[in-house]
Amino acid sequence: MRYHKNVPGYYVENFGCRATQADGAALERQFEELGLSRASNSSQAAIVVLNTCTVTAAADQDARAAIRRIQRRNPEASIVVTGCYAQRAPREIASLPGVTHVIGNSHKHQLAEIVGATADSESVLDLGWRSAGAPSKADSGFGWRSASSAANTGAQLAGALAPEGPEFVPLTTLTAPAGSREPEAQRPIFVSDIFAHTELLAAPVFDAPNERTRPNLKIQDGCDNRCSFCVIPYVRGQSRSLPPDRIIREVNTLVGAGYREVVLSGINLGRWGRDLRPQPPDLRLQPSTLSQTLASEVRGLRSDAAFQKLESRSRDPRFADLLRTILSETSLEKLRISSVEPMDWTDDLISLVASSPRIAKHAHVPMQSASDAVLRRMHRKYRPWLYREKIEKIHAAMPAAAIGADAMVGLPGETDAEFEATRRMVEDLPFTYLHVFTYSARPGTPAAFLPNQVPVHVARERNRVLRELAADKKLAFMRSFVGKTVEAITLKSEWGAGECGAGAPARESRPAEFTEALTDNYLKLHLKGCHEPNRWLHAQVEDVIDGALEGAAKHADSPSS
Ligand code: SF4
């Protein structure tokens, strides 16, 4: 199916983590491949897609506020809600005024097709958006509808949905306490069992609309862990990896487009590759037992040249193997890896990151808590001593590396002594930054049923203590570079390409002209003078001002292999 050209287009608004941003970029690709153009903002779009997050109650609230805002400012728009919140609570969302479609992560890979085939908005249909064979408004039959019944509404939609099977299994029906009901809804809902899905949406995504220097490539989705506080596995499904050939292709495309740093990301990135090893012949699933989608993915995977190379090893491919393949098969100048769980920081991975000048000296290692009891209640798979050991190894191998962590305060039952163990660990270890989260109960997760909820004011205070401690450590880390040389990539100015700081809010302490840059070890750098964006250079650090290094460029160059 192709949509007509030259119609007011779609607009995708993303919420939440990098993985969600990557999904958003892939959704844009879907619409563009179908001939729709991107509107400049949500008020001018015929279709507004809200790509939601549900990691906290506040994230849900942000999505609901966005729906209200769009409904107010652009009442004619089709409001399509997708992402993790849509997967978790489809009926709740469908009951909100203005929402025309709720499409969970389970059906996100077909979102543009589904929206096109089921559009009932006059503003959309009048623009010739629907192709021959798609259902008419009369037969779109809005109301409660599962993927299977929706598939009866037209050949195109049936085609789009056929590989998925007939199940409509919202998470909330699996996890909601008996007798509880979500509000009734009258909008089409496309959500099925996420654990039955094998698709992985992937398209490079950029950090911020005005910072397009360091694309982010999602290579893994889902998670096989079941941390007691976390809703992610229920809304993103099992861990699955992008095949290596596809990754190499994406990286080479980005390199060809002139990018010099690529950030690899995933929900549980260190598990990349564990699902890619083919089954021995007698155990292989036959296509007749698979959905068409899965069958074609498996066929594609077996003919994947980079995979064959990795397969020749005696074990399933590991994340470190992939990094080596990227280094050897692309000319990418710098690879940065996002969050990797402590168990996956193997000696091999640490020594690879430490030894390659083409991999950024940056390790983000989720900690959550340093109390053994709390980690057990969280169902985390490591103990505090292992965490400490990993961070010490990383620091010993790369003394100037950025080392960051996620910490969670306020899990039900967290005592003062348990929090103190976390505070002490943060104080002791060489962290250069910390992301501190306050526990938020997520419906359906085991932790939501734990007794002894921590009072809000206590959790807030613990959050403040950790943030202040982390800020002091970050400042000390930054000051340790004064008088030294750092490697950094120049960014596209926050105030527009080539403006070089002009238009930035005036600050006495900042040089009149400067260029923003990011160091290899993840520190913000203000470089004196104007420099072209997207260049690796060395800089002499002179000071630390307003949370950033300040310095002067020595000479432009690039990392050697
Ligand atoms: S590792 Fe734990 S916290 Fe992270 S996504 Fe998986 S279940 Fe959630």
Give CA–CA dist 112/34, Å, rounded: 8
**Thinking of the domain 485-556, which architecture would CATH place it in?**
Beta Barrel (2.40)
Using the atom order of ligand 1, give the atom closest to the CA of residue 223: 6
How does pLDDT run across 338-384, given as a tens digit for each residue?
A: 999 999 999 999 999 999 999 999 999 999 999 999 999 999 999 99
Residues ≥6 apart with Cβ < 8 Å to 253: none
Structure tokens at 229: 């506080």
Q: 386: helix, coil or strand?
A: helix
pLDDT score for 230: 94
Give me the CATH code for the 363-480 domain, please. 3.30.750.200
Single-letter amino acid code for the residue at 294: L
**Thinking of the domain 204-360, which architecture would CATH place it in?**
2-Layer Sandwich (3.30)
Give CA–CA dist 213/233, Å, rounded: 31
Residues of the chain with pLDDT under 70: 1-8, 118-187, 198-199, 201-212, 278-315, 493-512, 555-561
The DSSP code sequence of 169-234 is --HHHHHSPTT--PPP--S-EE---GGG--------B-SBTTB-SS-EEEEEE--S---TT--HHH
pLDDT score for 185: 46
Q: Is the C-beta atom of 223 inside 6 A of ligand 1? A: yes
Q: What angle do CA 289, 218, 189 make, to 5 degrees?
A: 55
CA distances from 239 to 21, 176, 311, 539 (A): 18, 24, 19, 40
The β-bridge partners of 539 are: 486, 553
Using the atom order of ligand 1, give the atom closest to the CA of residue 224: 6
10-193 and 204-360 in the same fold: no
Select from 482, 452, 471 the least CA-distant residue to 543: 482
Q: 167: helix, coil or strand?
A: coil
Give just the sign of the alpha carbon dihedral 347, 330, 360, 405. Answer: negative
Phi then psi dihedrals of residue 395, to 5 deg:
-65, -40
Q: Ligand 1 centre from 464 Cα, in Å?
A: 24
Give CA–CA dist 448/304, Å, rounded: 43
Q: Ligand 1 centre from 114 Cα, in Å?
A: 30
pLDDT score for 175: 41
The DSSP code sequence of 305-332 is HHHHHHHTSSS---HHHHHHHHHHH---
CATH 3.40.50.12160 is the classification of domain 10-193: yes
Task: Please report which residue ranges of 34-110 form alpha helices under DSSP H.
Answer: 57-73, 84-88, 90-94
pLDDT score for 500: 59
For the chain, give every domain's residue range. 10-193, 204-360, 363-480, 485-556
pLDDT score for 203: 63
Q: 485: helix, coil or strand?
A: strand
Q: Is the C-beta atom of 230 inside 6 A of ligand 1? A: yes
Ligand 1 test: best mutation among 218, 223, 380, most atoms within 8 Å of CB?
223
Q: Is the C-beta atom of 232 inside 6 A of ligand 1? A: yes
Phi then psi dihedrals of residue 449, to 5 deg:
-100, 0
Q: Is the C-beta atom of 227 inside 6 A of ligand 1? A: yes
Structure tokens at 164: 């998925």
Q: Residue 257 burial (CB < 10 Å; 0-12/13-18/19+)?
A: exposed
**pTM given for the model:** 0.79
pLDDT score for 18: 77
Select from 155, 156, 194, 197 the least CA-distant residue to 172: 194
pLDDT score for 364: 97
Give CA–CA dist 561/550, Å, rounded: 27
